[in-house]
RNA sequence: CGGGGUGUAGCGCAGCUUGGUUAGCGCGCCACGUUCGGGACGUGGAGGCCGGGAGUUCAAAUCUCCCCACCCCGACCA
């Protein structure tokens, strides 16, 4: 360490909020170099390289083949796939000296597709998986949290090419297994969440999330079974239909001055003629109908009403995730004027169910099963209707899972409580299907000599982000605590004592022996630095095992400290190398 | 993109309200001496376009405007 390019900081950097950012800067692993861009210092680069190596080893072990593309790419392929426009401001665009358009690749689907098209044209060549580990560029509106969300980051992206849907399933499944193994080796806990609802009927997509509060993704997980899903993709537990033979008839009532659900509930509970016998009305008994506009990719615009229980908001992200690729636009005052049958604030199924005017689609939350009774708008200002019964008094065009998910909702698999948690996406596996192959004309000849469009999968793993996630999940008050496989060294040897004391030469000798035994050693051989500084730096840097060659040396012992548990033992000098070897 | 906050030495900060000698403190850094198991001490030093630009003024770190960057909340987005 006397010659290592390193400066640790005594205090936290002021601009770092999350633990990984704070500690990686403080311990001398990274330095900010640009908005959303970081320089790796020697210790950081070793850790990064370890993570990259593990990712590469696991990919290679699965038989996937590594290639490497430029990051600076021409416009044309992205024009063909439609993403030159789709990516919008999120992509860095540059021009060459002749004014030709280039981009700094945010991801490489197009290039991989074209590469395979360039070289392969027979079904015999498939299946194929190729990957690269490459710097990606995304012009994030707000880079934050250090390495967790940068504008320049390293991603391992692989792509599978198969002739059949079954082949794609297999390639997808293999990636899933490889990712599990990779994250296990990295010492990175993860949950696998489904990233898209089945409602689109389309491809499988799952995210690997590292569960950390600093993360930006919200997901739900079951407190009992292993169900987990992105909030956009949560399927809710659907209650069984309720018989309604003896249900009270629908009752229309004047409900003045009830601008909110709460005021409505208070009013009907306070009126003898409206109060319910068995229990009070609650917000969950009301049916809220929210109207939006849908813009389809072909430009067609459609009005859509969504009915959800009144104790929940409509989650527009969830709605959009299920109706994609259609886009959701707000329903404006002008739209209400144009649709007189929709009375703002009092929209009820009467205006939306059977016999409604054409042009408005009505979708219900799946909780609204036949036989359930609701308080909802009567399609007239100042009036609501009670006991309106699903299946008897109104129907809809279908169901949609658009209601916000709440902590404590029942699990769709086992019925236990769901809890909402935060995480950061460290991997994403995705069955692309034939979108890119179609757009870019990637076909092969099948057994019958017919052209077949290839089906693809894409699989991303954030390498630089994984470093941050590992740091985020492995630290304490003192500093970082690296999992052994990614640590910058196996053992951190600290020499204490005065410059002429025997500790330093003994520590150097021990370091040499450890290296000879195949260990990676970080030796603190700085002279004139007080022991306290060395101990604190060792804990900050976070090598899993710390060996102090100090005052015990006269008795022939050194102190071996486990960074994670804090446990320390005196070990005879001649036994140290063997003991350390066992730890690895 | 909206709201709030912050930019002064490598790091952490004071000074700005009320403009006025040479811009300060702690840590870190350099030299010498002492010290040496939990962030030691003394003496002497080096290090600043006070985020950038434009303006107001006899005079700007300080006042005004514009821009840039960073942090937080929201919106947006893999």
Going A347 to A353 to A354 to A356, the CA torsion angle's sign is: positive
Rounded Cα distance, A26 and A30, in Å: 8
Closest CA to A156 of A215, A107, A204, A196: A107
Strands (E), A48-100: 65-66, 72-74, 92-95
On whether ipTM exceeds 0.90, the answer is: no
Q: Identify the residue whose Cα has the smallest distance to the C1' of B12.
A: A11
Q: What's chain A's Rg over C-alpha atoms?
A: 30
Whether a cis peptide bond, with omega within 30° of 0, leads into A181 is no
Half-sphere exposure of A582 (CA within 13 A, CB side): 5
Instruction: Determine the distance between A13 (CA) and B63 (C1') in angstroms.
Output: 31
SS3 A408: coil
Rounded Cα distance, A387 and A367, in Å: 16
Phi, psi dihedrals of residue A242, rounded to the nearest 5°: -115, 135
Q: List Cα–Cα distances, A249 to A308, A318, A393, A544, in angstroms.
A: 21, 34, 9, 71
pTM: 0.81
Q: What is the pLDDT of residue A197?
A: 45
> Measured at the alpha carbon of residue A96, what is the angle toward residues A95 and A99, in degrees to the nearest 5?
70
Rounded Cα distance, A400 and A234, in Å: 11
> Measured at the alpha carbon of residue A454, what is the angle toward residues A452 and A459, in degrees to the nearest 5?
170
Q: What is the pLDDT of residue A198?
A: 41
Nucleotide nearest A424, CA–C1', reads B78
Phi, psi dihedrals of residue A267, rounded to the nearest 5°: -65, -50
Residues 6 or more apart from A532 whose CB is under 8 A from it? none
Nucleotide nearest A90, CA–C1', reads B77
Q: What is the pLDDT of residue A353?
A: 57
Sheet holding A92-95, edge to edge: A72-74, A101-104, A92-95
Nucleotide nearest A540, CA–C1', reads B39
Rounded Cα distance, A254 and A382, in Å: 6
Instruction: Determine the distance between A33 (CA) and B49 (C1') in angstroms.
Output: 21
Q: What is the pLDDT of residue A158?
A: 95
Q: Identify the residue whose Cα has the smallest distance to the C1' of B40.
A: A530
Nucleotide nearest A86, CA–C1', reads B77
Rounded Cα distance, A321 and A400, in Å: 11
Instruction: Determine the distance between A151 (CA) and B53 (C1') in angstroms.
Output: 27
The secondary element (H helix, E strand) that includes residue A32 is strand A30-34
What distance lies between CA A241 and its chain's CA centroid? 35
Block mean pLDDT (10 aa), chain A, length 584: 87 83 90 82 93 96 94 84 74 82 87 90 92 89 79 91 92 94 92 64 75 79 81 73 74 72 72 74 77 70 76 72 66 66 70 60 76 76 76 73 76 80 87 86 90 92 91 90 94 91 92 95 91 93 95 93 94 92 80
Instruction: Determine the distance between A29 (CA) and B43 (C1') in angstroms.
Output: 35
SS3 A543: coil
Going A252 to A256 to A260 to A262, the CA torsion angle's sign is: negative
Closest CA to A277 of A373, A377, A370: A373
Rounded Cα distance, A357 and A339, in Å: 9
Tokens describing residue A297: 């990719």
The strand pairing partners of A290, in sequence order, are: A306
Nucleotide nearest A551, CA–C1', reads B37
Residues 6 or more apart from A340 whose CB is under 8 A from it? none
Nucleotide nearest A32, CA–C1', reads B70
Q: At what angle do helices A42-61 and A165-186 cross, to 10 degrees?
A: 140
Rounded Cα distance, A140 and A338, in Å: 39
Residue with tokens 């604030």: A345
Residue with tokens 């980051």: A153
Half-sphere exposure of A306 (CA within 13 A, CB side): 26
Contact status, residue A221 vs residue A191, Cβ threshold 8 Å: yes
Phi, psi dihedrals of residue A235, rounded to the nearest 5°: -100, 135
Q: What is the pLDDT of residue A436?
A: 86
Residue with tokens 């399609």: A379
Sheet holding A301-309, edge to edge: A327-330, A287-295, A301-309, A360-364, A398-399
Instruction: Determine the distance between A182 (CA) and B53 (C1') in angstroms.
Output: 51
Nucleotide nearest A145, CA–C1', reads B71
Q: Between β-strands A451-453 and A398-399, what pairing exists: parallel, antiparallel or unpaired? A: unpaired
Which positions on chain B have an atom < 7 Å from some protein CB?
Answer: 1, 10-13, 26-28, 34-40, 69-78
The secondary element (H helix, E strand) that includes residue A336 is helix A333-338
With 0-12 / 13-18 / 19 or more C-beta atoms within 10 angstroms meaning exposed / middle / buried, residue A21 is buried
Instruction: Determine the distance between A40 (CA) and B52 (C1') in angstroms.
Output: 28
The secondary element (H helix, E strand) that includes residue A445 is strand A443-445
Instruction: Determine the distance between A14 (CA) and B18 (C1') in angstroms.
Output: 30
Instruction: Determine the distance between A37 (CA) and B19 (C1') in angstroms.
Output: 39
């Amino acid at each position: 360490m006397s010659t290592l390019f390193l400066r640790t900081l005594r205090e936290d950097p002021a601009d770092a909020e999350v633990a990984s950012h704070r500690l990686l800067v403080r311990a001398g692993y990274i330095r900010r170099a640009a908005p959303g861009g970081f320089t790796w210092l020697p210790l950081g680069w070793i850790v990064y390289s370890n993570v990259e190596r593990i990712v590469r080893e696991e990919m290679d072990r699965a038989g996937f083949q590594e290639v490497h593309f430029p990051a600076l790419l021409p416009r044309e392929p992205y024009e063909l796939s439609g993403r030159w426009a789709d990516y919008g401001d999120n992509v860095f665009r540059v021009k060459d000296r002749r004014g030709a358009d280039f981009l700094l690749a945010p991801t490489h689907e197009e290039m991989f597709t074209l590469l395979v098209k360039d070289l392969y044209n027979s079904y015999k060549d498939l299946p194929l998986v190729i990957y690269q580990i490459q710097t990606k560029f995304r012009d994030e509106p707000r880079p934050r949290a250090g390495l967790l969300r940068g504008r320049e980051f390293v991603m391992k992206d692989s792509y599978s090419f198969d002739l059949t849907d079954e082949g794609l399933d297999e390639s997808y499944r293999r990636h899933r297994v490889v990712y599990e193994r990779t994250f296990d080796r990295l010492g990175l806990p993860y949950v696998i969440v489904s990233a898209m609802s089945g409602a689109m009927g389309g491809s499988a997509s799952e995210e690997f999330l590292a569960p950390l509060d600093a993360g930006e993704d919200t997901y739900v997980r079951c407190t009992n079974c292993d169900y987990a899903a992105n909030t956009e993709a949560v399927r809710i537990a659907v209650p069984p239909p309720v018989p309604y033979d003896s249900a009270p008839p629908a009752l229309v009532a004047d409900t003045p001055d009830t601008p909110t659900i709460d005021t409505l509930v208070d009013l009907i509970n306070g009126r003898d003629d409206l109060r319910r016998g068995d229990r009070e009305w609650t917000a969950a008994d009301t049916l809220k109908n929210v109207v939006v506009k849908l813009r389809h990719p072909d430009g067609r615009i459609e009005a859509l009403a969504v009915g959800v229980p009144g104790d929940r908001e409509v989650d527009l992200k969830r709605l959009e995730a299920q109706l994609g690729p259609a886009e959701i636009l707000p329903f404006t005052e002008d739209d209400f004027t144009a649709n007189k049958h929709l009375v703002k604030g009092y929209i009820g199924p009467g205006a939306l169910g059977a016999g409604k005017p054409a042009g408005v689609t009505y979708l219900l939350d799946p909780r609204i099963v036949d036989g359930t009774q609701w308080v909802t708008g009567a399609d007239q200002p100042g009036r609501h209707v009670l006991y309106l019964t699903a299946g008897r008094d109104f129907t809809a065009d279908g169901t949609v899972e658009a209601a916000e998910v709440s902590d404590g909702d029942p699990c769709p698999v086992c019925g236990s409580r769901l809890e909402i948690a935060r995480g950061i996406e460290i991997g994403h596996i995705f069955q692309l299907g034939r979108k890119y192959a179609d757009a870019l004309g990637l076909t092969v000849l099948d057994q019958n000599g017919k052209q077949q469009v290839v089906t693809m999968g894409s699989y991303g793993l954030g390498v630089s982000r994984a470093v941050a996630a590992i740091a985020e999940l492995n630290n304490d008050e003192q500093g970082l605590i690296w999992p052994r496989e990614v640590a910058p060294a196996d053992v951190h040897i600290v020499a204490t004592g005065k410059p002429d004391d025997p500790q330093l030469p003994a520590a150097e000798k021990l370091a040499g022996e450890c290296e000879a035994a195949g260990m990676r050693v970080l030796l603190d051989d700085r002279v004139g630095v007080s022991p306290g500084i060395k101990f604190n730096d060792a804990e900050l840097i976070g090598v899993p095992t710390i060996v102090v060659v100090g005052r015990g040396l006269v008795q022939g012992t050194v102190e071996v400290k486990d960074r994670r548990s804090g446990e320390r033992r005196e070990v005879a000098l001649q036994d140290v190398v063997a003991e350390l070897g066992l730890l690895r």
